[in-house]
Structure formats: C-alpha cells, structure tokens
Amino acid sequence: MGDRIVFDDLENFSFRVDHRAYTDEDVAAQEMTKIFDRCWLYVGHESEVPAPGSYVSRDVGGRPVVMARGSDGVIRVFANSCPHRGALICSQPAGQARSFRCPYHDWTFSNQGDLVGVPLPDGYGPGFRKSDFGLARHRSDSYRGFVFATFDPEQPRTLTEYLAGATEYLDLIADQSEVGMEVIQGAQLHGARANWKLMMENSVDIYHFRALHKRYVSYIESLGTMAPRRRGGFARALGRGHGANELVPAAARPLAYWTPMFPPEVRSRMEATAARFVERFGAERAQRITGANRALMIFPNLMIIDAIGITIRKIDPVSAGQMSITSVALAPKDEDPDIRELRKSHYLTFLGPAGFATPDDIEIVESCQRGYLNRTLRFSDLSRGMAKEVPETTDELPAREFWRQWDRLMHDGDDDHEEAQDVTQRAERQGAQRR
C-alpha cells in the first residue's frame, strides 16, 4: 500500500483510521489478495456435516467452496469448481451425496474429491489420467469443531498457531456441552450497504449498546433483567488481529444462568445445569463459562457472540461499500428441549433480521458509510481505553487489535516477532503506566 491509513500513536493515546479504508475500491481489492487470500478463514462447523456424505456449499473469502465429510469420515474443503471447464459442481446449499456431478459435461467426483467418471473418455489422449483432475482441495483444519481453510499454500502457521489467544474463548464455547455443540438448522442471510469492517467493529463494540439499542434495554429491564452496564467487564487483544470483550455477570444466559426474563418453570433445570458445570470444572471456570457474556472476534471476518444465545456471524466483503452477512445459532447437542426453544426465541428476538438489535446495527453502519461522503471528515477515532491499564468492554482495544493486524498484512508485513497473546494490550498498559 502507499499512503498510511492507520495512525497508531501509543505515546499520545491516539488511534485513527483514514476513511479510505472503508470507501476506496482499490483498498478493497488489495484486501482480497493480502488478507483473504492469506489468512485462515472460517468455513463452518463440523456439526453441519454430521455423517459421511453430508456437505455444505458456501462462499469463503470470495470463493465458492464445498465442505464435505467423505465416505471415509474425513472433512475436506474443496473448490466448488469443475477442473474441466470451471462450472460449479454443487449448486445446493447443503445435502447428502456419494458424488458430485458437474452439470456441464457430466464429469463426476466422489465425495472425497476424486474424479471417478468422464463421459466418452476415448476422446482424450493416452496421457489423460483421472488422478490429475480431482477437485482442488484447500488446506483445512478444525479447532474444537470450528472448521477453517486457507488459500495460501505457503501459510506458515497451523490453525492453532493462527488462532493464538482466541483458542481460550473457543474452549469456553465448546465446553458448554459434554457431548458437543451443534449449529441449529437454518441461517440468516442478509447484507448491508456498508464496508464489512464496520460490522466487525460494531460486533465487538459494547460502548454503543445502551445508546443504539434503547428498545431492547427497555424491554429486558421491563422483564426484571439488568441490561449490560455502561462500565464493567474487560476487553482483550488476543494476538494476530483477534480480540474479545467479556461482561461479568451476564445479562442472561439460557445455558445455566437464570434471570427473571426466563420462565420460572425452567429455573430449577438451569440451576441443576449450573451445578453440573461446577462439578466438571470447579466454581471459578464454571462461573466464567455460564455466567459471562462474550464477543469474540477472529481476524479477519468471524464474530462469535456468546451471550443470550451463541451467534456465529461471518461477514464477507462484496465491495468497498457493501457486505454480506451469514449468521447461525450454536447450541449444546444435549440441551433440554424447553431451553432450546427458549434459546431460539431469544436469539431471534435480539439478533434476528427483524429483532431488536440487528436492524439497529445495519442502519447505523450504513449511516456511517454515508457519513464518510463528507470527505472533510477524514478519520474514525478508535482511541477509547488506550490510557487504561485494564480496558473495559466499552473500550476499543479489540478493534485496535484488528486494525493493527490489518495494517501489517496490507503492508505485506508479518508478526513472527510478536508473541501471540495480549501483545498490544501490554503495550497500551505500559503507556498508561508511563502516564
């Protein structure tokens, strides 16, 4: 990249981002090659392909892919493109198949990606080998059920190394069930006329909660539950662009944290679940798993909001001023049926396309995007909390961690010289102590 876009001044506790990062189409094009073609990207959850032959197809990093569990039980991620002439080999969003057939010329591939059928093969020369024309396989791996892929054949890190401190929070999610977590069937597919990074910032921002979501705050407080406070909890940088904030105590958790917004008849069951967590993990960790609200950001485009429900939100760029959003709900496989229904209801009430929060969030990021047309206003300020030794959830440390990694990669940098966890948080704390 040429001119600077991110201005990070630890000495003066100032962090600014030039609005070109959100509006410039050349920047958007560079992001695809320097970020989305290089990083590990979230594809899906193992529970979405539960049995041999099951598959899902979706776009990842601007590329159509298929995540399939082969007949051998192994999950693979393939390019959704026939190696013959490039047509999609899978047009359905999900299903069960022993093989994939290209509709253009009937080339057929096993669910492990091997080419197994070619009509009129005698039309090819003696050097033609089926083994040379299997589906292109992307390097993939999973952590605690979350499947990622990378399009970079020279990606130097394993998935676990790439996730850095984010693994701590994925563990807190995965440990919510002894038998595993599962994606609840159905997805929310929508978008916004705004840059994708604005939704990443918004999703990890608690500072806006009471201001923007006044209707929801009034609603849950009318039910006897305290909404998230202006102050409290803590924010963390987790290394390599990942960040999180954590609010304790939780506003409400259908897992094992009863509040008056839940029916009284499920209280005893939630409390029994909470007791089992104490037996499994001890009181301190059990309280952290069941009694906190969290927002986890995994660079570049994955948000997991672990609050009144668990939302997996994948945010994809379409252009500088447009994004697409895919959201699904995650829950324990062994969840009580009544509590599962409660979880789904509150998930839709808050985060559904017509819920209390999502329309507010879409409207405000689109408002920001339009506001950037005022080119005399050049910068967004993300300095909140830089002067604190322990940033709170209403501070902007996770967003700064995102932008620091974005800036490194856009300038073809690397972070091998940095430790993976809490790097920038320590740097900011040291600055606050000097002050």
DSSP-derived letter for residue 190 is: E
Provide DSSP, 366-421.
HHHHHHTT-TT--EEE--TTTT-SS--TTS-HHHHHHHHHHHHHHTT---TTS-SS
Strand order in the sheet with 137-143: 40-45, 146-150, 137-143, 75-79, 63-69, 54-60, 94-96
- Which domains, from first to last, does the chain contain? 40-150 (2.102.10.10), 165-434 (3.90.380.10)
CA distance 141 to 145: 9
The tens place of each residue's pLDDT in the chain, 435 residues long, gives 568 999 999 999 999 999 999 999 999 999 999 999 999 999 999 999 999 999 999 999 999 999 999 999 999 999 999 999 999 999 999 999 999 999 999 999 999 999 999 999 999 999 999 999 999 999 999 999 999 999 999 999 999 999 999 999 999 999 999 999 999 999 999 999 999 999 999 999 888 777 777 777 777 677 666 666 555 688 999 999 999 999 877 666 778 878 787 889 999 998 999 999 999 999 999 989 988 889 999 999 999 999 888 999 999 999 999 999 999 999 999 999 999 998 888 788 777 777 778 888 899 999 999 999 998 889 999 999 999 988 988 899 999 999 999 999 999 876 554 544 455 556 666 555 555
Radius of gyration for the chain, computed over Cα atoms and rounded to the nearest angstrom: 23
Q: Are strands 234-239 and 115-117 parallel, antiparallel or unpaired?
A: unpaired
Separation in Å, CA 44 to CA 79, 146, 216, 249, 359:
15, 6, 30, 30, 25
CA distance 354 to 107: 43
Of 343, 304, 346, 355, nearest to 326 by C-alpha is 304
